[in-house]
Amino acid sequence: MPPKDGPNMTAIGQKIIILGCSGSGKSTLAKTLRELTGLPLIHLDNVWWRADRTHIAREEFDRRLGEILREERWIIDGDYSRTYEPRFRACDTVIFLDLSEEECMRGITERIGRKRTDIPWSEDRPDPELEELVRNYRRDNAPTVYGLIERCPGKQVLIFRTRTQVQDWLAELKGKEMENVYRIDRNTWRIEDGHVRFYLFCGEERAALIDTGMNRPEAKALAEKITSLPLILINTHADPDHISGNGAFEEFYMSPAEEENYRAHDGRGRLLPVREGDVIDLGDRPLRIIDIPGHTPGSIAVLDEKERILVSGDSVQDGNIFMFGRHRDLRRFAESLRHLEEFRGQFDAVFPMHGSFPVTPDLIGKLFGGAEDILAGRTSAVPVFVHGREVGLYRFDFAGFLCDLNRWPAGKNDRAAGE
């Protein structure tokens, strides 16, 4: 049974404004609503700010906002209290994320260093001014929003006080069962699972899950609701955010070089080894395995030769690529990217497990250049905390690399690191 076409969105209108404090999750919600509704999405931060962190004049901003408001359909994401009034007048739906100060503080901390599409730069360090705004939001802004809600009747108003409420509402809109499941084309699905995703590829005779995510122990059951074909599992690698639903499979395809990593994460079942050049045919849909060690010892990419798609695991993506700690090897990673380039004529899109979906094949060359810059000490890292430990973030405009701190000091050669 294929997923439903989408929820009945007439309930939430065609002109939606999303308000709330920085860090409350406005942009994330806005993007999900765009996916569900197909409404054009405008992030006000992208209107106001320029890439060099200067901003346009207020008059110019107001003029552009006026143009947007005259359009028939939109989602407008952004607080900008000075222009609450015209947006309230023009919209049919108000979504107000009235989350606690602590929640919003956590929100602005978690996004540091993350590549974003809702603002023309990525924040690389805490911003005291922004923190001040978060501290004062409920005193300075929230009463104005509630005042406008009272003074502008006839709007649909949705107020959320926790992230869970937001999630529950979205789930209801989508139909709980198929929450975060998106159909890419006739026989390909993408399942979003927080900060990670995985895929379901169907052929004429079989279907393959590629990874099973982080919080989806029911991944197999979910796939069986989408397709009645016999189901196999292929894992791009065995980091814990990719194997949460493996337990429901007796066997799975994985590089044998990854087995140690898999068992270290309590991975169960029988490993069916796949290596460079192996082809798993789903029935008129051959999937070719490409070894790309580096992120982990047995990372693989899966090349869908018929649909011209490369599933890249964690190795080609525009988020922050984890290259710190045991198992990681940046030099092999760079070699693997060069190897992937050899297949460049055979795919048009890259499906990563993190970051934006999809990404274009030219990202491979950029990542290769970035890795080479780090290895040669041509760039330096900023310290950031990830999972409670301090690591170095090498931030490029196309992606980031999280590496052991001082592993490749800028200006020094890699050999000095002596590992």
Stretch that binds Zn ion, among 24-32, 111-119, 264-272, 312-320 (CB under 5 A): 312-320
Give the closest residue to 37 by CA, choosing from 69, 7, 71. 7
Q: 317, exposed or middle or buried, with CB in 10 Å at 0-12, 13-18, 19+?
A: buried
Tell me the closest approach of the beta carbon of residue 375 to Zn ion, in angstroms. 22
Tell me the closest approach of the beta carbon of residue 323 to Zn ion, in angstroms. 12
Q: 103, exposed or middle or buried, with CB in 10 Å at 0-12, 13-18, 19+?
A: middle
344-363 footprint of Zn ion as x/- string (CB under 5 A): --------------------
Tell me the closest approach of the beta carbon of residue 269 to Zn ion, in angstroms. 19
Nearer to Zn ion, 203 or 313 (CB): 313
239-268 residues in contact with Zn ion (CB under 5 A) are: 239, 241
Nearer to Zn ion, 78 or 355 (CB): 355
Nearer to Zn ion, 99 or 243 (CB): 243
Stretch that binds Zn ion, among 233-241, 253-261, 288-296, 371-379 (CB under 5 A): 233-241
Stretch that binds Zn ion, among 75-83, 237-245, 247-255, 264-272 (CB under 5 A): 237-245
Phi, psi of 186 (to 5 degrees): -50, -40
Nearer to Zn ion, 45 or 211 (CB): 211
Does 318 bind Zn ion (CB under 5 A)? Our answer is no
Stretch that binds Zn ion, among 28-36, 146-154, 313-321, 372-380 (CB under 5 A): 313-321
Total number of residues that touch Zn ion (CB under 5 A): 3
Stretch that binds Zn ion, among 17-25, 157-165, 235-243, 356-364 (CB under 5 A): 235-243
What DSSP string describes 145-202? HHHHHHHSTTSEEEEESSHHHHHHHHHHHH-GGGTTEEEEETTEEEEEETTEEEEEEE
Nearer to Zn ion, 137 or 333 (CB): 333
Nearer to Zn ion, 308 or 389 (CB): 389
Distance between CA atoms of residues 312 and 237, nearest Å: 10
Tell me the closest approach of the beta carbon of residue 320 to Zn ion, in angstroms. 10
Tell me the closest approach of the beta carbon of residue 99 to Zn ion, in angstroms. 27
State how beta strands 15-20 and 93-97 pair: parallel
State how beta strands 349-352 and 382-386 pair: unpaired
As beta bridge partners, residue 77 has: 18, 43
CA angle, residues 391, 397, 401, in degrees to nearest 5: 25
Binding test (CB under 5 A) with Zn ion, winner from 193, 314, 318, 404: 314
Nearer to Zn ion, 77 or 241 (CB): 241
Tell me the closest approach of the beta carbon of residue 386 to Zn ion, in angstroms. 12
- Under 8 Å between Cβ of 37 and 116: no
Going across the sheet that includes 309-313, the strands are 279-281, 286-291, 300-304, 309-313, 349-352
Stretch that binds Zn ion, among 182-190, 234-242, 360-368, 399-407 (CB under 5 A): 234-242
State how beta strands 188-193 and 93-97 pair: unpaired
State the residue for tokens 């023309």. Answer: 120
Tell me the closest approach of the beta carbon of residue 250 to Zn ion, in angstroms. 24
Sign of CA pseudo-dihedral 207, 308, 292, 320: negative
Distance between CA atoms of residues 146 and 312, nearest Å: 46
Binding residues (CB under 5 A) for Zn ion: these are 239, 241, 314
